[in-house]
Structure 1
Amino acid sequence: MCRVEELNQYIQQLFDYWEGKNDDFEPIPIPKEVDDEMEKDSFY
């Protein structure tokens, strides 16, 4: 499966989770370094 297909499948699973159709969905973990950088760059 190519990366685009994987992304499309992930997005479909995410929408199914939001609509209550998929309770087994696990989001892709965000590394702490990326999370810290996003926090630092946020406008909140």
Structure 2
Amino acid sequence: MKSRSSLRSLKHRPGSIVVRRRGRTFVINKRSPHWNGRQS
């Protein structure tokens, strides 16, 4: 999982979903988990 300052590039990937958990923003991609990301 990549920790990034901006998730804009990750959320445009096919199959990605933006989720908010515990005050953090996550991008979850089940199609290609290489594009998972977290923003603090």
Q: How high is the TM-score relative to the length of structure 2? A: 0.21
Which protein has greater RCO, CA pairs closer than 8 Å, 6+ apart? 2
Which structure shows the higher helix fraction? 1
Q: Which protein is bigger by CA-based radius of gyration?
A: 1
Q: How high is the TM-score relative to the length of structure 1? A: 0.21
